[in-house]
């Protein structure tokens, strides 16, 4: 299980996350777990009122209705708690939705995880971010691989921006993302390989060079030096990815 601070990393990754969609997702995930029909209906009605307000934040009328609905649900849960007996209605699930209605989405997620599971919540949060050119499936893979939400969102955003890259290069960038070694500088260097329009044999060579094959790197560097590119040869030996595209094109000639 994860703390609220872990879930908060998702929301810190975007300043345009969709609060209405997130609350609706919480209500849909938690609603079926609320056993008492009347309470389940009240939670749904209250959440709907807050969702409508989030969809029209400039509307004072909707904001007032949302406050009233939130207060009413809070009083209902307090009243049930005051009457608690051995057979009392369980309110934990409803309280999770109330937490989300009050804007504490990370806290609601931490409380909901044991109930609905991490996978559904992760997909909900990633979809809520509303990031353009964002690779959600990749971000989910990274999360399952143990990366933090902050790292997974950053890598998913980087990869999503370059979805037009050839498949061999996407495999390389995916491997680096899963290894936690993908950053802006690496992506910029790999972008040069994408623009190089390499043949299949050149692409295969580039992929091996990017994989860190020391023997092949030495051979390619020597070939570059022989072809009058000593600076590129030195950069290649030093691990400079910007030299890979040139090496792949010249060495395979």
Q: What is the mean pLDDT of each run of 10 residues along the chain (253 residues)?
A: 94 91 96 93 96 95 96 93 64 94 96 95 95 88 90 86 77 80 77 71 76 79 80 78 71 59
Residue count of the chain: 253
Asked if 252 contacts 202 with a C-beta cutoff of 8 angstroms, the reply is: yes
The distance from CA 236 to its chain's CA centroid, rounded to whole angstroms, is: 33
**pLDDT at residue 30, as a whole number:** 96
**pLDDT at residue 253, as a whole number:** 52
**pLDDT at residue 3, as a whole number:** 95
**pLDDT at residue 244, as a whole number:** 73
Residues 110, 123: Cα–Cα separation, whole Å:
15
Query: For residue 31, how many C-alpha atoms fall within 13 Å in the half-sphere facing its CB?
Result: 17
Asked if 156 contacts 134 with a C-beta cutoff of 8 angstroms, the reply is: yes
Residues 176, 169: Cα–Cα separation, whole Å:
11
**pLDDT at residue 15, as a whole number:** 85
Residues 206, 168: Cα–Cα separation, whole Å:
9
Asked if 18 contacts 130 with a C-beta cutoff of 8 angstroms, the reply is: yes
The distance from CA 113 to its chain's CA centroid, rounded to whole angstroms, is: 17
Residues 78, 80: Cα–Cα separation, whole Å:
5
Decide: residue 105, CB within 10 A, 0-12 exposed, 13-18 middle, 19+ buried.
buried
**pLDDT at residue 89, as a whole number:** 61
**pLDDT at residue 116, as a whole number:** 95
Contacts of 17 (CB under 8 A, 6+ apart): 10, 11, 128, 129, 130
> If you search the block for the tokens 């209705």, which residue do you land on?
65
**pLDDT at residue 57, as a whole number:** 92
Q: What is the chain's alpha carbon radius of gyration, rounded to the nearest angstrom?
A: 26
**pLDDT at residue 210, as a whole number:** 76
**pLDDT at residue 148, as a whole number:** 92
Contacts of 253 (CB under 8 A, 6+ apart): none
């Amino acid at each position: 299980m994860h703390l609220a601070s872990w879930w908060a990393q998702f929301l810190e990754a975007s300043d345009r996350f969709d609060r209405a969609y997130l609350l609706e997702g919480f209500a849909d995930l938690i609603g079926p777990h609320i056993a008492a029909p009347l309470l389940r209906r009240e939670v749904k009605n209250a959440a709907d009122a807050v969702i409508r307000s989030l969809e029209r934040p400039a509307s004072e009328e909707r904001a007032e209705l949302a406050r009233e609905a939130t207060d009413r649900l809070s009083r209902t849960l307090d009243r049930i708690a005051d009457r608690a007996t051995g057979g009392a209605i369980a309110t934990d699930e409803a309280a999770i939705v109330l937490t989300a209605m009050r804007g504490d989405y990370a806290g609601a997620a931490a409380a909901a995880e044991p109930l609905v599971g991490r996978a559904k919540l992760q997909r909900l949060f990633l979809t809520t971010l509303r990031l353009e050119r964002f690779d959600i499936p990749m971000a989910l893979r990274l999360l399952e691989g143990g990366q933090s939400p902050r790292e997974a969102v950053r890598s998913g955003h980087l990869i999503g921006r370059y979805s037009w890259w050839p498949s061999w290069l996407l495999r390389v960038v995916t491997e680096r993302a899963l290894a936690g070694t993908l950053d802006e500088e690496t992506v910029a260097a790999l972008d040069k390989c994408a623009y190089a329009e390499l043949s299949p044999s050149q692409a295969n060579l580039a992929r091996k060079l990017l994989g860190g094959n020391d023997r092949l790197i030495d051979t390619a560097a020597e070939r570059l030096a022989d072809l009058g590119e000593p600076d590129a040869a030195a950069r290649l030996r030093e691990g400079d990815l910007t030299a890979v595209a040139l090496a792949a094109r010249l060495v395979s000639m």
